[in-house]
Amino acid sequence: MILSDDDILARLETGDLVVEPIDDLDMQVQPASLDLRLGEEFLEFQRTNISCIHPNRESEVSDYVTETHVPEGEEFILHPGDFVLGTTKERVEIPADLLATVEGRSSLGRLAVVIHATAGIVDPGYKGQITLELSNLGTAPVALTPGMRVSQLVFTELTRPSSRPYGAERGSKYQNQKGPQASRIGADPEFAGTPSEETAVDGVDGTDTDE
């Protein structure tokens, strides 16, 4: 069951669903969703100085990502073909019996701006700001202003609360994140035992050249 505006307001009132700060409930609460605003921090991907991205080498992040801070009232220009990580201004706490889905606002979609590539799910138990995967699929640059409503959350009630919600007990990588966070896929179990940043030789692979 998808929560209506009355359901969302009731959950916010009881405090088991947390979205803060909300400056204007009437503006941000929609018929069956809750609008979230754009934060001030961005991670921009650089194409120079790297041959490729190795998902299991977290230390490479600083080689291909730079952080930009844009205060409210100023603009971040998203150029055609650009991909950047942004963040919501709001911090959320999702209870164990809800699943939240991040969606783009249709007004931005009509400007060819999408707000997530694949990460549309906010799991039960998640706490923190939400990283947005911003892309411009159009042919003209678009000015994004921190503080503008840029995305919306849709809440679905589970048939029963999750018994293993997102969080420290699951080793969840992004719990309590603040600001946009680069990929931490290298911490995934499937990379255990694979060549890592510590064993890499000359940035090519983790093969030991000495037998």
User: Of the listed 40, 93, 103, 133, which one is catalytic?
Assistant: 133
Cβ–Cβ < 8 Å for 101, 142 = no
Cβ–Cβ < 8 Å for 143, 75 = yes
DSSP string, 127-139: EEEEEEEEEE-SS
Cβ–Cβ < 8 Å for 112, 162 = no
- Residue 87 has which token pair? 């963040």
Is position 133 annotated as part of the catalytic site? Answer: yes
For the CA atoms of 71, 37, 86, 195, what is the dihedral angle to 10 degrees?
140
β-partners of residue 84 are: 44, 134
Q: Known catalytic residues?
A: 133
